[in-house]
Structure 1
Amino acid sequence: MEHKLDLQPLALPGLELKRPIIIAGPCSAETEEQTLETARQLAAQGVKIFRAGIWKPRTRPGAFEGVGTVGLPWLKKVKEETGMFVSVEVANAHHVYEALKFGVDMLWIGARTTANPFAVQEVADALTGVDKPVLIKNPVNPDLELWIGAIERVNRAGVKMIGAIHRGFSTYDKTKYRNNPEWQIPIELRRRIPELPIITDPSHISGKSEMIAEISQEAMDLNFNGLIIESHMCPEKAWSDASQQVTPQHLGEIKQNLVVRRSAIGDTPRVTLDELRQKIDSIDKQLLETLKSRMKISEAIGKYKYENNITILQTRRYDEVMNNRRKQAEEVGLSPEFVVKVYEHIHEESINRQNKVMNKELAKK
């Protein structure tokens, strides 16, 4: 299903936002000095759009929730001194009104807000008639329809310069990411709304500064439009999300080393063979991470069976799994024979893992 939206290319006064768009700045505006000095250093690295959190939605009460409106004049000074455009996250109508009053150039809606259609509608209503770029982060949960719904609400309010921010998705499982990228979701968003710019947030996906370059390159390989990266003049002293922020100098190195493959001819984007292969590589990475998680559960099952004197092979359970997967394969349009072969190998490896666990436990006696 494709979605018809009334969209215009992202632009700022005097600045056409061409690929790759780079938005950078601290997770939080902490002090006027920290905000201005970080902006100066980023401007020296060629960054044109400055980001800073003014209102910070935190998971637990008592955490630093941003300086609030008092920080907006600092952003105004950033514009005046460096010539950079400034952007902030908004979560309600009050945030929108305050940000616009202080001349903020670009707004974004955060992941927690996107997950709440009532909150998105409040922000959309406040944005009625606003001719500024508005970026919409994916919801915290991997729900593409919820993400598209937020984009549609903002567009129906008359906002035409809209972009999506891919910041990864929360998961209970432990992985190397803070938020799993689930690249297939923004890829599907691109398929459904081809004209919608997608900007990746490697800071929130990784949670680690050392992974930002890798994820940034992956986003470029997938032909996404830009990056929004958290950068602090002194990350180790940051008041929030210190581990995922890079110095402006480090950001400059990441920018310089990015390989940006351009595949557009004229105004019509064209998908190349390399881009399709990059998409396959990204999905394969996710498959391997998922298989890794599955095998860890198999090992836990092996330990449970050992402790409770249960045999490894449970024929009834195996038949139940295979019958269910065969049925599920048909429902999603896959060949049942292909899926059965895949699960035969998965089951074989699961048995091997459980056998190793049992032998290891037995050797302890």
Structure 2
Amino acid sequence: MENLRPILFAGLTPRRPALIAGPCSAETEEQVMAAARALAARGVRIFRAGLWKPRTKPGGFEGVGAAGLPWLARAKRETGLRIATEAATAEHVAAACAAGVDLLWIGARTTANPFAVQEIADALRGHDIPVLVKNPVSPDLELWIGALQRIRNAGIRRLGAIHRGFSTADRSLYRNTPQWSIPIELHRRLPELPLFCDPSHIGGRRELIAPLCQQAMDLGFDGLIVEAHCSPDEAWSDRAQQITPEALDEILRRLVIRRTTATTESLDELRREIDECDDELLELLARRMRISRRIGQYKREHSMPVLQTLRYDELLARRAAEAEKLGMDGAFMRAVLQAIHEESVRQQMEVLGE
């Protein structure tokens, strides 16, 4: 999937990321126009609003549908903004393209369904329109890449991705946990793909939007897609995660955009130190695995099972606590130890099978 990075937005200043902003849902023509005018006055160039909004459970506001397309067209005509909306079916694609929508995005639930993505891809054939693909609900990188490939195979070249976090059963600070490692890996594998962050859906609460925007910029994201409503507390959908145009402007003014053109020569010595640490880690891990094999030999000779659950639980708890005392995250240390344990078990199973 080479050469995927188009110039979606020209003329950006070094201190401002590419930005898509607007209300979660188009509610009324007056609401759309008020938001569009307020955002255009603050330098936003692409206006977003959802038209088709099926909710997790029926009974709530599920969008105005195609009736809102003339409202977006008016906003485009009167403010000069480009307009964007979500498409979840082939019919949405056809209606949006006919109405002059400038950009489409594919939502997380749709991305999770290859059948739905393929239907959208087929509907996009012959259209020259930028398309952004949100990550699937579950943390499945291959599913995300597969959706991007389907859209690209339909002839769409102005293609990008949106990171909106992942659903989890665990209680979390966030509505959708960021799991930054997944979009980072997407960027590593598809470096030419523009990558946007959706802090509204990750955070789920407006007070989290500013720090999430800064984290995205620190990680090298290309842009942001933010839900902004003139009266967020009166919004018909997802009111807690929307901010006012004024609040968005303040967040953007405070954003720190790291210099990407700075020389890295001064980092060479530090990087050499990192390389030395990595070499030492590899040596220690290899030594640990050799000990694991010796343990496996002992267990084979004495007919002992490989797994010792109580010791493993005690090890995880103790090491996580020690890591926190050393300034590291306990969950990170648990993940490292779990990976090491899996390899140790594999080594021991190999010895038992000899």
TM range (shorter): 0.7 to 0.9
What SS does structure 2 have at the residue aligned with 1:186?
A: helix
CA distance in 2, matches of 1:120, 1:272: 46
**Structure 2 residue aligned with 1:317:** 309
**Structure 1 residue aligned with 2:252:** 255
1:332 Cα deviation (Å)? 6.8
1:8-31 per-residue CA deviation (whole Å, 9 max, x = no partner) reads 41436xx45777111000000000
1:95 aligns with 2:92: yes
- Give, as a single letter, the amino acid of the residue that structure 2 aligns with 1:123: I
**Structure 2 residue aligned with 1:237:** 234
Farther-moved stretch of structure 1 (123-132 vs 166-175): 123-132
1:107-129 per-residue CA deviation (whole Å, 9 max, x = no partner) reads 00000000000000000111112
CA distance in 2, matches of 1:109, 1:316: 46
1:124-150 per-residue CA deviation (whole Å, 9 max, x = no partner) reads 111112211100000000000000000
**Structure 1 residue aligned with 2:27:** 30
CA distance in 2, matches of 1:200, 1:272: 30
Q: 1:272 to 1:260 in 2, by over 3 A?
A: farther
**Structure 2 residue aligned with 1:141:** 138
1:7 Cα deviation (Å)? 2.1
Which consecutive residues of structure 2, in runs of 5 or more, have no partner in the other structure?
A: 272-306, 317-335, 348-354
CA distance in 2, matches of 1:272, 1:243: 44
Q: 1:211 to 1:57 in 2, by over 3 A?
A: same
Q: 1:39 to 1:167 in 2, by over 3 A?
A: same
CA distance in 2, matches of 1:135, 1:271: 35
1:151 aligns with 2:133: no
**Structure 2 residue aligned with 1:206:** 203
**Structure 2 residue aligned with 1:329:** 340
1:168 Cα deviation (Å)? 0.3
**Structure 1 residue aligned with 2:291:** none
1:231-270 per-residue CA deviation (whole Å, 9 max, x = no partner) reads 00100100000000000010110111111113158xxxx9
Q: Superposition pairs for residues 65-104 of structure 1, below 5 Å?
A: 65-104=62-101
Residues 6, 155 of structure 1: 8 Å contact kept: no
1:177 aligns with 2:177: no
CA distance in 1, matches of 2:246, 2:338: 53
Residues 5, 152 of structure 1: 8 Å contact kept: no
**Identical pairs, percent:** 58
1:204 Cα deviation (Å)? 0.2
CA distance in 2, matches of 1:332, 1:153: 36
1:151-195 per-residue CA deviation (whole Å, 9 max, x = no partner) reads 010001110111100000001111110000000000000100001
1:307-345 per-residue CA deviation (whole Å, 9 max, x = no partner) reads xxxxxxxx953246569x978427679xx9xxxxxxxxx
What SS does structure 1 have at the residue aligned with 2:84?
A: strand
Q: 1:223 to 1:318 in 2, by over 3 A?
A: same
Q: 1:202 to 1:332 in 2, by over 3 A?
A: farther
Residues 22, 227 of structure 2: 8 Å contact kept: yes
CA distance in 1, matches of 2:124, 2:176: 29
CA distance in 2, matches of 1:147, 1:92: 18
The CA RMSD over aligned residues, in Å, is 2.8
1:57 Cα deviation (Å)? 2.6
- Give, as a single letter, the amino acid of the residue that structure 2 aligns with 1:101: A
1:88-122 per-residue CA deviation (whole Å, 9 max, x = no partner) reads 00001000000001000000000000000000000
**Structure 2 residue aligned with 1:362:** none
Farther-moved stretch of structure 1 (90-99 vs 57-66): 57-66
TM-score, length-scaled by structure 2: 0.75
CA distance in 1, matches of 2:256, 2:191: 22
What SS does structure 2 have at the residue aligned with 1:11?
A: coil
Q: 1:179 to 1:326 in 2, by over 3 A?
A: closer
- Give, as a single letter, the amino acid of the residue that structure 2 aligns with 1:260: I
CA distance in 1, matches of 2:267, 2:84: 35
CA distance in 2, matches of 1:52, 1:184: 29
CA distance in 1, matches of 2:343, 2:98: 49
CA distance in 1, matches of 2:75, 2:230: 14
